[in-house]
Amino acid sequence: MDYRALTDEQLVAGLREGKIAAFDAIYARYWKMLYAVAYGQLGTKESAEDMVHNVFERIWNNRESQKINCLKAYLVVSVRHFSINYIKSQITYLKFREYLIFQEIQKNFSTDDILNYSELQRVVNEVLEKLPDKTLEVFRMSRHENKSVKEIAAHLLLTEKAVEYHITKSLKFIKERLYVYYNHN
């Protein structure tokens, strides 16, 4: 019997009877479409393949008890359901990791350490605000945006020597101001 020529209803009936050929025909007919749906929701090849695999595994394992009226709709809804649950689990996992990191920070740093860091950050920001505008812009591009001297020069239409000058000037300025600050405290 050529299962590929059967209707969805006939394939579902064959699936309920445990006919592997019916399952294979369903897989061949809908795999690409389900993959596209999963990929659209998850954005990665591996995750999409896993979701489609999970749907087909569930269909096979529950073939005798599932009531499937419209196979295509059932499959699409199943992939979306699995994808949404996967996304929720990833969000929960990330929140849990953030919680663990926060707990580790609290365990390893005293309140004084955290306050000292906050105070240092405030002082550094005050010092940076006293830099000339062009020097500050070069410093931020170099240190905060991790741009190379060549990239900064091209972006700001400066020579590479001028960029190096501004970086050196800003580092010296910051070092002097922070040294004075910590010697007074």
Q: Could you give the count of Cα atoms lying within 13 Å of 161 in the half-sphere of its Cβ?
A: 0
**Where in the chain are the domains?**
3-101, 110-184
In sequence order, which residues have a C-beta less than 8 Å from that of residue 60 and are 6 or more positions away? 15, 23
Asked whether the predicted pLDDT for residue 183 surpasses 80, the reply is no
Distances from the Cα of 128 to the Cαs of 27, 97, 109, 131, 134, in angstroms? 62, 33, 26, 5, 12
Per-residue pLDDT tens for 43-88? 889 889 999 999 999 999 998 888 888 889 999 999 998 888 888 8
Per-residue pLDDT tens for 5-25? 888 898 899 989 999 999 999
137 vs 56: CA distance, rounded Å:
56
Q: What is the DSSP track for 8-25?
A: HHHHHHHHHTT-HHHHHH
142 vs 136: CA distance, rounded Å:
10
49 vs 76: CA distance, rounded Å:
14
CB 58 within 8 A of CB 26: no
Out of 3.90.1010.10, 2.60.40.10, 3.40.50.1820, 1.10.1740.10, select the CATH number for domain 3-101: 1.10.1740.10
- Of residues 126, 26, 41, 122, the one with CA closest to residue 84: 41
Higher pLDDT, 95 or 67: 67
| pLDDT recorded at residue 27 | 93
| pLDDT recorded at residue 123 | 79
Per-residue pLDDT tens for 128-176? 888 899 998 998 898 888 888 999 999 999 998 999 998 888 888 888 8
CATH class of 110-184: mainly alpha
Average pLDDT score, the chain: 84
79 vs 93: CA distance, rounded Å:
21
